[in-house]
Chains A and B, each alone.
Chain A
């Protein structure tokens, strides 16, 4: 069979780009509609289409060139047709679902799986096309895999760029349009004999996709997201909206919007109205409508204003602007200069437009993630300030698998180091029940060490609370009597309580919101000098850069206690993010088992022994690749201070370097002579990377713009280069034995890649980055040993 190789290669390249573009745009689409965790899980599950495609390929007609071309043409048409259809099916047939209810409302559970199934179909069709091309041109696998990975990489870059201009659903539809165009191009290149039906359908699909590009498709957030609830207010108006790779920014104006966390219960004046800023439908900040003409006195009657009472602050660093209201708080407290760090340029624009011209010389806005700024800056501050860390009414469980590099032990240490002598750091949070968040904050703060390496002492910590907010203040130095007197006076005036007193004179006069057992635990945390862990039903251990999941409070071994005391229903509501990753993993396991069963029974491969070897080989490389990819994404979220940038960068670079590796796999294997040596080399490079990972990350954080991308690229490239070799080498080796090995390997590799992606999130959250990378190194090493034994006996 002689095929027009170039047209196949172009299709493969473009489709690979579209797969990644679909993946990232759908993650963003669902991150807006649901919560970020759910978005990743939905798309991880939808990628199961890759596993299923192997089974389909083995059943497709591809014996003659005409059959093959017709098959490819039909799948292209089907895929181009299904992409706009999938949006319509989700909107009008399945209906919107609420991931919040997925665990206990069977209707919502069914909708969840239908949505996953719906979006897995385009992935399945795309993967079938890619796998089909791999199968028929198996002898060119190095080049094909190279194109596949380079295409994927470029798709990753392109989608991030497009997200600045288009909403994710539009990008998804644009991909549908591209596929339909591709079907038309493929038709003209590959069909010498005209086929009117195929051409007509292709033209119809192109037209439909073109029309869809101009139809406004709304993405409506879950009714339980704050944006939806605010939009229900009678006079709510969207006054600004903009798509960004960080998420969609929206400003809502309503006469009902007011914001005043930590407010004193004896405040009797007016709280001004304002506008709320949302990022991906979650509250990102608040701005007072007209700060110049508004009485901002309410800002001084809050626990959050407490540090300003202690002394005149000259240089203040604001770690989260909260839309501008925290700048107002600093200004009303007569601060000399406020430095504000914010990574999203659109938010910066909003905040800047809110500031008065005469204030602009007092406010320095820095377009940088707060953590990165802390790492790079040589400035010292009188006061570093972080407002309330989570919106009220929501459990941290929604964010339990989201990396928060600003709340790690390392970040807090940096904050402390950036303080002037006798400077303050303050952070506030809502009081949850049973208490978790403030205890974890306190435990993380108490692990800070001074220049001499000593842990900070209790006379450096002071915390006050009202009925639902705690503000913790850490001083670089001991609190003196004057400060304590001011704190006591401020608390009394506002009917706050001093929950943590430097002289242990705790006074809970007005707010009995913390029970005595928790007070005892606070004491233990404050007195803990040796870094012992406390026996508590929730995980209070400091989150670290290795495990930056501040909002994950679950200890798996205490599940029995949780079930007895909170009930499964309440637990899944309050820690929904954590349980969702397990649900996804279980679903993936079940689907994988079914898929592997079908692959074993329906894809004919010469011998059972070969099947077993294929299973071991392609499952291991699928798992290990994903362990590394997801771990690198976690680490580079810190480097690039954005999950979307990290995902795009790591996927792009890893895939491009793997693509180049796969291209050279044939040639390089002459140098390595022994097949197993590639695996040993990957294990060793992983170990080396792990050994220097801290230094590498420190170095990368310090860098700017191009240098950061370039050096990151240099570091990932060798790893990806070698990781790209096992797949084409395996295909090449095993396809010599049996051509059916390709769809079988494709199905196994697809299933285990999805399993690896779900499994690596669980490993990262529970065991951390080092453990996950180590697991991948061990997997590659064991596979190397396995191949070595096979080679040895084969020779024998």
Chain B
């Protein structure tokens, strides 16, 4: 879905491949759809120009307004856990730069993404349009209410740590659907929590990423 010319003469192609191999595949992300999407989407176009050299680093990149574009591994891992290949519609809360939406759009049928900060909304909408993503709908609104017109969703990706899960989002999640929420500060995602809706009941569980090897505890 990205214009073909990006594939050619793309000076960042090798950086992206290194990112996928060293930061993502080596840490246990196996889903081929995700790996392919991560190696196709030009992450450097989603970071501020002044930070373009950091785009493929193994860490989050500030994008202004107190927001960051998540570490590549976290983006990949969040995408993998919702099993995107089985999803038709995915809702993202917190578009930010639009990078996570672009990764999802590479795999699923439709991505609906909501951003509250008007400036970020405008920038990401323009960026995603320029990159030719026709299956992403961006809205400048309060993520609390989700996007009722397009509900229910197979999966919901919340991109920033949340204090509570808004009831409308639970309602808009399909039965059997998955919601993923990061835990931690803007620069250090310590964990991801997966929330699943099964026969009307809601379950949550921690997803310990490979790099957070359990500590040596107890004697």
Contacts and interface: CB of A to CB of B under 8 A. Distances in A.
Q: Do A and B come from one complex?
A: yes
Contact of B219 (A104, A518, A535): A535
A229 B117 CA distance: 9
A393 B191 CA distance: 11
Interface in B184-219: 184-188, 190-191, 193, 195, 201-206, 208, 212-219
A256 B166 CA distance: 12
A5 interface: no
Nearest to A230: B66
B214 A515 contact: yes
A263 B66 contact: no
A104 B68 CA distance: 15
Given A269-B167, A517-B218, A535-B217, A574 B185 contact: yes
B218 A433 contact: no
Contacts of A268: 167, 170-171
A561 interface: yes
A223 B216 contact: no
Nearest to B186: A224
Contacts of B193: 467-468, 513
Interface in A253-286: 255-256, 258-263, 265-271
B197 to A, nearest CB: 9
Contact of B205 (A392, A395, A513, A573): A513
Given A224-B66, A263-B165, A268-B171, A537 B215 contact: yes
Interface string A421-445: 0000000000111100000000000
A451 B69 CA distance: 54
A683 B161 CA distance: 51
Contacts of B165: 263, 265, 467
A536 interface: yes
Contact of B216 (A262, A495, A537, A569): A537
Interface string B90-131: 000000000000000000000000001110000000000000
Contact of B217 (A270, A271, A517, A566): A517
A561 B183 CA distance: 22
A513 B206 CA distance: 5
A101 interface: yes
A333 B163 CA distance: 23
Q: Taking each of B140, B164, B205, B212, which has the highest tally of chain A beta carbons within 10 Å of its own beta carbon? A: B164
B118 A433 contact: no
B198 to A, nearest CB: 11
Nearest to A283: B163
A669 interface: no
Nearest to B120: A232
Contacts of A569: 59
A534 B218 contact: yes
A100 B144 contact: no
Contacts of B184: 393, 395, 433, 574
B187 A100 contact: yes
A300 interface: no
Contact of A392 (B65, B162, B208, B215): B162
A535 B161 CA distance: 30
B202 A265 contact: yes
Given A223-B64, A223-B65, A224-B66, A395 B185 contact: yes
Nearest to B208: A515
Given A100-B187, A233-B116, A573-B185, A392 B163 contact: yes
Interface string B35-68: 0000000000000000000000001001011100
A271 B144 CA distance: 10
Interface in A282-339: none
A470 to B, nearest CB: 13
Interface residues on B, range: 35 or more
A433 B213 contact: no
B219 A573 contact: no
A565 interface: yes
Contact of A513 (B118, B164, B204): B204
A537 B213 CA distance: 12
B160 interface: yes
A223 B186 CA distance: 11
Contacts of B166: 258, 271
Contacts of B164: 260-263, 271
B190 A518 contact: no
B32 interface: no
Interface in A449-479: 466-468
A117 to B, nearest CB: 23
Given A510-B202, A524-B218, A565 B213 contact: yes
Contacts of B64: 223
B167 A271 contact: yes
Contact of A256 (B65, B142, B167, B170): B142
Nearest to A567: B211
B65 A229 contact: yes
A262 B164 CA distance: 7
B95 to A, nearest CB: 14
B203 A510 contact: yes
B204 A535 contact: no
A496 to B, nearest CB: 11
B218 A232 contact: no
A515 B207 CA distance: 10
A275 B195 CA distance: 28
B218 A260 contact: no
Given A395-B185, A513-B206, A432 B190 contact: yes
Contacts of A561: 215-216
Contacts of A434: 190, 212, 214-215
A695 interface: no
A322 B117 CA distance: 26
B176 to A, nearest CB: 16
B51 to A, nearest CB: 9
B142 A515 contact: no
B167 to A, nearest CB: 5
Interface string A389-401: 0001111000000
A796 interface: no
Interface string A555-592: 00000010001100110011000000000000000000
Q: Taking each of B142, B185, B202, B214, which has the highest tally of chain A beta carbons within 10 Å of its own beta carbon? A: B185
A521 B204 contact: no
Given A393-B163, A431-B183, A512-B205, 7 more contacts: A101-B187, A265-B170, A394-B185, A433-B190, A468-B193, A565-B212, A574-B185
7 contacts: A100-B186, A232-B117, A259-B163, A268-B167, A432-B183, A433-B212, A517-B214
Q: Which 9 A-B pairs have the closest CB atoms?
A: A467-B204, A393-B161, A433-B191, A573-B188, A265-B202, A512-B205, A223-B66, A433-B190, A263-B164
Interface of A: 98, 100-101, 104, 222-225, 228-229, 232-234, 255-256, 258-263, 265-271, 392-395, 431-434, 466-468, 495, 510-515, 517-518, 520-521, 524, 534-537, 561, 565-566, 569-570, 573-574
Interface of B: 59, 62, 64-66, 116-118, 140, 142, 144, 160-167, 170-171, 183-188, 190-191, 193, 195, 201-206, 208, 212-219
